[in-house]
Amino acid sequence: MKYIFISLLWLYASAVSAVELSRHVAAQVMQAQKHAEQQQLDKAIQTLRAVTAEQPQDKAYVALLLANYYWQNGQSQSAIEQARYAVTSNQLKEAMGWRAKRMLADLLANDHQYQEAVTYYRQLVEHAPVKKDVPQLWLRIGQIHYQLAQWQQTLDAIAQYERFQLPDAVMPLSIQLGAQIQLTRYQAAIPTIKRLLALEPDQRNWWLQLVNMEIKTKQYRAALASLELARLKGVELSDQNLKLLANLYAQNGIPERAARVMASLAAQSPSVLTLDDITQMAYYWQQAKEWDQAIENWRIAAQQDKKYYRDVARLQLQQGDYQEALETLALLQGHDKAADIALLRTQALYKLNQLDQALHQAKKADSLEPSREAKSWIKYLTQLHQYRQNRES
């Protein structure tokens, strides 16, 4: 995040009456201020640089004015140099001295000299002549600690800011949220995001952050509700967000909705679906006991990887489509374990009452990869064959 640290201008023409200046210095200061009012900053700077001030207070005040004009003129390093002199001279007292230190802190922060800036901001907090300035100073301190990746100090500063019970604002809340996430305080981040959503209900990023925090804290039903609500409010969800929505439906025991979200995504943007997405959709349909849809999607997956014909065949066996299952298993040949294919053939042939062929497949499976299932089929089919022969005789 980028933050703007520079404050409004602290010095105005009327400020010259706030300090006692030597007569010739005051005249040159007034002349410089007239140039500045006419947007002639170079002339204002030249006028002040030509001042021959002897009194320490005159020098400090001229330096502070120069800092102001240098900053307005885009000469930040010169502004910092002059502001630092004005502050460290200790010649500017009370409110003027405080304003000088505030300007130096702002200039340093804007120049990414954060460590020095935060030292001055903390001094400003302790000696603020107007208490209404204190919350803004704590916010600045929080911003700087954020830039320095000092997450706990960031939260401490924002906690000080919040003591003043000001109306919620995006800046302090977003800083607080960032620090909470960096410290993996996901549960604490959730109310922060909800406060941000109250301010910016159409901000997609806050909704996604809320869902993410709820998932990280294993609040899957809440995450689903949040993502559903975002969608209902018209928040645009990416393809990836919609896949997440489908996954949350499935996790919350609503596989049919999960499948329908994926089907809708497939209809709108078929190219965004990976093979994993297609198999996931098939699995959702299967969980929802929508067998035809499941078979159709397993077939689509099998067009990319023939091993998925196994899932097609299994569902066909389950649905009693035994001849279709045998045809599917023929397509699976060479793309799955031969022993597993033989066992699936055994089931289909048995259901088609082709017992000799079924027994042959069971024996083939056991020879390729001995298993309890294969031996069970061999025993059962052998006994059945003998029983039928006995009946016929």
CA 268 to each of CA 242, 265, 284: distance values in angstroms, whole numbers, following the listed order: 12, 5, 19
Residue 164 is classified by DSSP as T
Q: In this predicted structure, what is the pLDDT of residue 387?
A: 84
For residues 59 and 25, give the distance between their C-alpha atoms in angstroms, rounded to a whole number. 9
Assign 16 to helix, strand or coil: helix
What percentage of the chain carries pLDDT values higher than 70?
95
Q: How far is CA 88 from the centre of its chain?
A: 43
Contact present, 109 and 76 (Cβ < 8 Å): no
Burial annotation 29-68 (CB, 10 A radius, 16+ → b, else e)? bebbbebbeeeebebbbebbeebebeeebbbbbbbbbbbb
Q: In this predicted structure, what is the pLDDT of residue 93?
A: 85
Per-residue pLDDT, averaged over 312-322, amounts to 97
Lowest mean pLDDT among 49-53, 187-191, 231-235, 360-364: 49-53
Give per-residue pLDDT as tens, 86-142: 999 999 888 889 989 999 999 999 999 999 999 999 999 998 887 888 999 999 999
Domain boundaries along the sequence of the chain: 1-162
Whether residue 178 is predicted with pLDDT greater than 60 in this model: the reply is yes
Lowest mean pLDDT among 77-86, 93-102, 199-208, 350-359: 93-102
Lowest mean pLDDT among 34-48, 190-204, 307-321: 34-48
Contact present, 326 and 349 (Cβ < 8 Å): yes
Whether residue 292 is predicted with pLDDT greater than 70 in this model: the reply is yes
- Which residue reads 């390729």 in tokens? 368
More confident residue, 185 or 388: 185
Q: In this predicted structure, what is the pLDDT of residue 17?
A: 45
The two structure tokens encoding residue 65: 């004015």
Q: Helices 338-351 and 372-392, interaxial angle, to 10°?
A: 30
Contact present, 65 and 29 (Cβ < 8 Å): yes
Whether residue 264 is predicted with pLDDT greater than 60 in this model: the reply is yes
- Of the pLDDT bands very low, low, confident and very high (cuts 50, 70, 90), residue 19 is low
Kindly report the backbone phi and psi dihedral angles of residue 185, in degrees, each rounded to the nearest multiple of 5, phi listed first: -95, 70
Q: In this predicted structure, what is the pLDDT of residue 393?
A: 63
- Closest to 240 in 3D by CA, of 277, 292, 287: 277
Whether residue 329 is predicted with pLDDT greater than 90 in this model: the reply is yes
For residues 42 and 58, give the distance between their C-alpha atoms in angstroms, rounded to a whole number. 21
Q: Indicate the pTM of the whole model.
A: 0.82
Q: In this predicted structure, what is the pLDDT of residue 24?
A: 85
- Taking phi over 0 as left and psi of -120 to 50 as alpha, with beta for the rest, 93 belongs to beta
For residues 31 and 157, give the distance between their C-alpha atoms in angstroms, rounded to a whole number. 42
Q: What SS3 string covers 222-270? A: HHHHHHHHHHHCCCCCCHHHHHHHHHHHHHCCCHHHHHHHHHHHHHHCH
Q: In this predicted structure, what is the pLDDT of residue 12?
A: 40
Q: In this predicted structure, what is the pLDDT of residue 379?
A: 95
Q: In this predicted structure, what is the pLDDT of residue 119?
A: 96
For residues 310 and 252, give the distance between their C-alpha atoms in angstroms, rounded to a whole number. 28
Q: In this predicted structure, what is the pLDDT of residue 144?
A: 96
Per-residue pLDDT, averaged over 147-167, amounts to 97
Q: What SS3 string covers 274-295? A: CHHHHHHHHHHHHHCCCHHHHH
Lowest mean pLDDT among 127-141, 162-176, 219-233: 127-141
User: Amino acid letter at 336?
Assistant: D
Question: Whole-number mean pLDDT of the chain?
Answer: 92
User: Amino acid letter at 128?
Assistant: A
Lowest mean pLDDT among 99-113, 151-165, 188-202, 309-323: 99-113
Q: In this predicted structure, what is the pLDDT of residue 8?
A: 38
Q: In this predicted structure, what is the pLDDT of residue 26?
A: 86
Tell me the range of 103-112, 216-225, 267-276 where mean pLDDT is highest. 216-225
- CATH number among 1.20.120.1460, 1.10.10.10, 3.60.21.10, 1.25.40.10, domain 1-162: 1.25.40.10
Q: In this predicted structure, what is the pLDDT of residue 15?
A: 46
Contact present, 71 and 6 (Cβ < 8 Å): yes
